[in-house]
């Protein structure tokens, strides 16, 4: 696996340096990746700035057509992109190919969204309308847990609105994004889409650059603060999708077996490396032991291994830093809770088995921090009002869920959870047409849907005398 290139001004080029990308399932070097210099980043931004006026001037029908062409190319190469993604990220091959297909679907879905002028008033004294103008050059910064599909909520709306883009993938998972760039380089005019990979050393230069009009960032809250600070100097537009410590509240009237299956999927998908995963599970004391038993059985039965191997359900943690962090949190949890038996894992690689921890509460790292790994604390409660207060007692507010056999009862609690998205009897479901954004320190702005498209535009009001 070699010959990956940066995409700058419609041309593929080597980096001014190189860096190794590690396969987390084997801890071996997967590929040498081009590493952009500051000069290459500046050229990518300059190319996007040069390409912007002509791209913005195109009829929106032409931009819609381009998005659909890009979707077709991605779809036709989903197997190849998925194989690269599995090897650099770790997730099972089926999930990785599905992620590539979801990226293509997002291009198609955004291509259908309206971006029309709206008449606000048409009276005897004035005519007022609103329109959406593009912003200019947009920086798109994506994380390592879902490198491809995260781009699906950024590239299509940015381009449809008439912006040009500079994409920076995570240093540990740049390869599938670079491969996507090579596939799409001729689908757009030179400079409209640029991709630069770095070793976590160009983010500040990108976000502070005076020719960047907007930053769309997905990642940790800590890094999001730095992005926000960099953007403040010239008031760049921002969309931040940040960390979460999502709570799920299980009421006493659920079907335990059925709910356990949905909760397990919501907690352990992608080995728990999901911003909106269930990270704290509050279960009523009357069904606590039964729920723990069901979840523990599912954890012990899960097949953990290399994502390329047939039958693998959960892969490794993506990188050593995250692996060591989750191990530390798990060791701390053993001091304040009961760590239940887990499934077997390979002897090599960044593997942690899906783990249930019971008899634990607030005050432990596992409950108070975002673990971002396959370890789930199950917390007992007696009063739903208490569970609600505990679920809300966090600086985060990305997602949450309520589980109950009574929809009206579940809705009563769901509406009081302080989160951008609250699911009922499911968790972590997203769709391109459904807006998604965090509350509190889990984000700023909205992605997906018409609201997400609007984030890549400047609202302009035309107010004319009649």
* 191, containing H or E segment: none
Query: What are the residue ranges spanned by the domains of the chain?
Result: 6-242+442-465, 247-431
pLDDT, position 263: 98
Mean pLDDT of the chain: 97
pLDDT, position 30: 97
For residues 247 and 392, give the distance between their C-alpha atoms in angstroms, rounded to a whole number.
8
Taking 70 as the threshold, does the pLDDT of residue 463 lie above it?
yes
CATH topology of domain 6-242+442-465: Aldehyde Dehydrogenase; Chain A, domain 1 (3.40.605)
Nearest C-alpha neighbor of 448 from the set 422, 465, 430: 430
Instruction: Tell me the two tokens of residue 112.
Output: 């259908």
pTM of this prediction exceeds 0.85? yes
Measured CA distances, 208 to 26, 199, 203, 234, 237 (Å)? 37, 17, 8, 8, 12
- pLDDT tens-digit series, residues 72-114: 999 999 999 999 999 999 999 999 999 999 999 999 999 999 9
Measured CA distances, 232 to 43, 215, 323, 395, 455 (Å)? 23, 11, 33, 22, 17
Cβ proximity of 446 and 437 under 8 Å = yes
Collapsed DSSP state (helix, strand, coil) of residue 420: coil
Which positions are annotated as active-site residues? 241, 275
pLDDT, position 2: 73
Task: Please state which architecture CATH assigns to domain 247-431.
Answer: 3-Layer(aba) Sandwich (3.40)
- pLDDT tens-digit series, residues 300-320: 999 999 999 999 999 999 999
* 184, containing H or E segment: helix 175-184
- % of the chain residues with pLDDT over 90: 99
Collapsed DSSP state (helix, strand, coil) of residue 463: strand
More confident residue, 2 or 138: 138
301: CB partners within 8 A, 6+ apart = 343
120: CB partners within 8 A, 6+ apart = 128, 129, 130, 461
pLDDT, average across residues 282-290: 98
For residues 418 and 413, give the distance between their C-alpha atoms in angstroms, rounded to a whole number.
10
Strand partners, 164: 137
For residues 78 and 103, give the distance between their C-alpha atoms in angstroms, rounded to a whole number.
9
Cβ proximity of 175 and 21 under 8 Å = yes
Residue 306 sits at φ, ψ, to 5 deg, of -60, 130
For residues 311 and 93, give the distance between their C-alpha atoms in angstroms, rounded to a whole number.
10
Cβ proximity of 238 and 344 under 8 Å = no
Fold agreement between 6-242+442-465 and 247-431: no
pLDDT band at 403 (very low <50, low <70, confident <90, very high): very high
CB crowding 295-305: b at 16 or more within 10 Å, else e: bbebbeebebb
Taking 70 as the threshold, does the pLDDT of residue 31 lie above it?
yes
Where are the strands (E) in 251-374, listed by range?
280-284, 338-339, 355-358
Cα 324 versus chain centre, distance: 22
- pLDDT tens-digit series, residues 195-221: 999 999 999 999 999 999 999 999 999
Using CA of residue 182, residue 187, residue 191, residue 194, what is the dihedral sign?
negative
pLDDT, position 1: 67
pLDDT, position 183: 98
DSSP 338-386: EEPP-----SSSS----EEEES--BTBHHHHS---SSEEEEEEES-HHH
- pLDDT tens-digit series, residues 435-448: 999 999 999 999 99
pLDDT band at 461 (very low <50, low <70, confident <90, very high): very high
Largest distance between two CA atoms of the chain: 77
CB neighbours of residue 450 within 10 Å: 14
- pLDDT tens-digit series, residues 33-65: 999 999 999 999 999 999 999 999 999 999 999
| Residues counted in the chain | 466
Taking 70 as the threshold, does the pLDDT of residue 333 lie above it?
yes
pLDDT, position 304: 98
């Amino acid at each position: 696996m070699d010959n990956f290139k940066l995409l700058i001004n419609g041309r593929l080029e080597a980096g001014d340096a190189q860096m190794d990308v590690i396969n987390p399932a084997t801890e071996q070097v997967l590929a040498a990746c081009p590493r952009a210099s500051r000069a290459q980043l500046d050229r990518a931004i300059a190319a996007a700035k040069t390409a912007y006026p002509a791209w913005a001037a195109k009829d929106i029908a032409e931009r819609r057509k381009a998005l659909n062409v890009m979707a077709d190319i991605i779809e036709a190469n989903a197997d190849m992109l998925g194989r690269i993604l599995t090897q650099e990220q770790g997730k099972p091959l089926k999930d990785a190919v599905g992620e590539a297909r979801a990226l293509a679907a997002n291009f198609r879905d955004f291509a259908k969204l309206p971006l029309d002028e709206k008449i606000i008033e048409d009276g005897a004294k004035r005519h007022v309308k609103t329109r959406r103008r593009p912003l200019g050059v947009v920086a798109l910064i994506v994380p390592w847990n879902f490198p491809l599909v995260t781009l699906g909520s950024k590239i299509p709306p940015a381009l449809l609105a008439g912006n040009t883009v500079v994409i920076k993938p995570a240093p540990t998972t740049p390869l599938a994004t670079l491969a996507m760039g090579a596939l799409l380089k001729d689908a757009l005019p030179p400079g409209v889409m640029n991709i630069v990979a770095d070793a976590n050393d160009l983010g500040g230069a990108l976000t502070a650059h005076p020719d960047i009009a907007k930053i769309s960032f997905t990642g940790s809250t800590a890094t999001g603060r730095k992005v926000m600070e960099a953007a403040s100097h010239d008031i760049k537009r921002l969309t931040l999708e940040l960390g979460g410590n999502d709570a799920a509240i299980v009421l006493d009237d659920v079907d335990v077996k059925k709910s356990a299956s949905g909760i397990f999927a919501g907690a352990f998908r992608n080995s728990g490396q999901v911003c909106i995963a269930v990270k704290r599970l509050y279960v009523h004391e009357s069904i606590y032991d039964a729920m723990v038993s069901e979840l523990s059985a599912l954890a012990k039965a899960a097949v953990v291994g290399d994502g390329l191997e047939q039958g693998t359900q959960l892969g490794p943690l993506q990188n050593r830093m995250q692996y060591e962090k989750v191990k530390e949190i798990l060791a701390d949890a053993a001091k304040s809770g009961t760590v239940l038996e887990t499934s077997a894992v390979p002897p090599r690689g960044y593997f942690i088995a899906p783990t249930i921890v019971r008899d634990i509460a607030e005050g432990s790292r596992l409950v108070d921090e975002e673990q971002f790994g396959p370890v789930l604390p199950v917390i007992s409660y007696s009063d739903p009002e208490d569970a609600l207060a505990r679920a809300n007692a966090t600086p985060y507010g990305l997602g949450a869920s309520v589980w109950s056999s009574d929809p009206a009862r579940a809705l009563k609690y769901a509406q009081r959870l302080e989160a951008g998205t609250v699911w009922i009897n499911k968790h972590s479901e997203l769709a391109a047409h459904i807006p998604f954004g965090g509350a509190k320190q889990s984000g700023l702005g909205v992605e997906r849907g018409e609201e997400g498209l609007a984030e890549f535009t400047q609202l302009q009001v035309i107010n004319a005398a009649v």
